[in-house]
Amino acid sequence: HPNLLTNNDLLKNKAYVGGEWIANARDGKTFEVTNPSTGHVIATLPDLGVEDTRAAIDSAYVAQIAWAKRTGKDRADILRKWHDLMVENADDLAAILCAEMGKPLSEAKGEILYGASYIEWFAEEAKRIYGDLIPGHQPDKRIMVMRQPVGVVASITPWNFPNAMIARKVAPALAVGCAFVAKPAAETPLSALAMAALAEQAGLPKGLFNVITSSASADIGQEFCSNNKVRKLTFTGSTNVGRILMRQAADQVMKTSMELGGNAPFIVFDDADIDAAVEGAMISKFRNNGQTCVCANRIYVQAGVYDIFAEKLTAAVNAITVGDGFGKAVTAGPLIDAKAVNKVQDHIADATSKGAQIKTGGKAHRLGGTFFEPTVLTGVTREMKIATDETFGPVAPLFKFETIDDVIAQANDTIFGLASYFYANDLSRVWKVAEALEYGMVGVNTGLISTEVAPFGGVKQSGQGREGSKYGTEDYLEMKYVCLGGI
Ligand code: ADP
């Protein structure tokens, strides 16, 4: 939909390396980006390889040294300008995102503003990278702790938030004085390129933000991990790929931040406000058509309110309008690809074969392609695949539970520990459950927890590191202790 844009400079069919727009890969290879709503090819991009990646790392390495010497305020000014340009161009950025990823236009715009909020936040934080003075251990000693940027940061990001997943990483990295080499998902590189176009316009010096367009993720990942000019790898994606990257990064003991898979429990206690719980479940489960790592994956409902919750949730799910993200009333787009549809179908088939019932949905949507009917399943049990695997699609499975201890045990019975949610009103129950859930994030009486002011991240096999908040710069800083003697 390029004719929808007011600023056509944002739609790029080139990679961005060392501050230059690169039309061709060294070996001439290309790959295509398609719109999942229509199947149409919307761009053909250079398919960069290891040599081009090395060039990007080299330019980042040089640029970083000068960037780190500038004041926090200097860096903040440029980041602030970049934020403002993202907000000014939010409609165009949303159209590009909608076309390459499929989420509804309004949701795409929400993501752009959410991504921009991290750039604003870290522009503010750039001025507040404080160190420490520690009273000496001997009379002639003074001890000082300074925080320094780690250096060149490489990132690998997924397709489900093509703007925000990069914004959350690049903003703190640049704010503290690092340089950044991004490898966006091959499905959704156009949003990253549009961000680069605006960074350039904001006056970000050459080499500080590079976008490697490539379908050869594994090769690029290898290069990131083995190139000794890269000091940090930040990844958002599946736990499986995260493990591979952590193993590779171990060779040069590279720092890593990992935002990996989740299997979020969403618990509704019998003292909950049921209408509020339904509203929260809709946001938590069906946002981005179920394709977020913090989406509710297992909905546990206490026996006394199970039937009423199931009825009300089904009614709300039936009000979802599925379609092309550019459609006016559309509230859910397609799934990203056929593999995603297969996984959703497999989870539903497995559950129904073991006794679950389909309350609504359950099959491919009549629109065809990768559109799928929003689905509610009742009678779901822990023997079903959906209890342990992240579905990443529009399926709400309702489990029934009796006691608080039982539901906490079930909720924690997973290798994952990213987001969790529960609805309850009794104060001691709220405290007890919030403390007992083994998750990096807990939403109490809310289904939406993502914000730039709070630390986003997981425990167990959902990863390590935190993005956003006053803690968000720590992943990009080294601590240096200086001991002054002979005073
Ligand atoms: P998702 O299911 O969200 O696509 P993945 O973990 O498969 O999750 O992918 C996340 C990102 O990691 C994507 O950009 C993908 O291209 C990239 N990726 C996949 N496999 C590898 C790998 N072996 N090395 C480096 N990056 C990879």
| Residue 3: predicted pLDDT | 57
| Residue 8: predicted pLDDT | 85
ipTM of the complex: 0.97
Ligand 1 nearest atom to the CA of residue 242, by list position: 6
Active-site residues, by number, are 259
| CA proximity to 93, closest of 209, 178, 12 | 12
Ligand 1 nearest atom to the CA of residue 221, by list position: 25
* Residue 443, H or E segment: strand 441-444
Mean pLDDT of the chain: 97
237-to-191, 391, 401, 408, 420 alpha-carbon distances in Å: 17, 14, 31, 26, 18
Residue 110 has pLDDT above 80, yes or no: yes
Question: Does residue 127 sit in helix, strand or coil?
Answer: coil
262/447 Cα distance (integer angstroms): 15
Q: Return the amino acid letter for 168.
A: R
Residue 285 has pLDDT above 80, yes or no: yes
| pLDDT 10s digits, 118-154 | 999 999 999 999 999 999 999 999 999 999 999 999 9
From 222, 241, 288, give the residue whose CB has the most ligand 1 atoms within 8 Å, as the site to mutate.
241
Query: What is the CA(185)–ligand 1 centre distance, in A?
Result: 7
Mean pLDDT, rounded, for 424-440: 98
Percentage of the residues of the chain whose pLDDT score is greater than 70: 99
Mean pLDDT, rounded, for 322-331: 96
Question: Does residue 42 sit in helix, strand or coil?
Answer: strand
From 217, 223, 251, 258, give the residue whose CB has the most ligand 1 atoms within 8 Å, as the site to mutate.
217
| Residue 5: predicted pLDDT | 86
Mean pLDDT, rounded, for 160-182: 98
* Residue appearing with tokens 């559109």: 371
Residue 70 has pLDDT above 90, yes or no: yes
Cβ < 6 A, ligand 1 pocket: 156-159, 185-186, 217-218, 221, 237-238, 241, 244-245
Neighbouring C-alpha atoms within 13 Å toward the C-beta of 453: 0
Query: What is the CA(473)–ligand 1 centre distance, in A?
Result: 24
309/396 Cα distance (integer angstroms): 12
Query: What is the CA(237)–ligand 1 centre distance, in A?
Result: 6
Radius of gyration of the chain, Cα coordinates, nearest whole angstrom: 23
Mean pLDDT, rounded, for 283-311: 97
| Residue 6: predicted pLDDT | 85
Residue 417 has pLDDT above 70, yes or no: yes
Residue 2 has pLDDT above 80, yes or no: no
Q: Return the amino acid letter for 247.
A: R
Residue 4 has pLDDT above 90, yes or no: no
**Which residue has the CA at smallest separation from atom 21 of ligand 1?**
218
Is pTM beyond 0.95? Reply is yes
**Which residue has the CA at smallest separation from atom 17 of ligand 1?**
217
Query: What is the CA(157)–ligand 1 centre distance, in A?
Result: 7
Residue 288 has pLDDT above 70, yes or no: yes
Percentage of the residues of the chain whose pLDDT score is greater than 90: 98
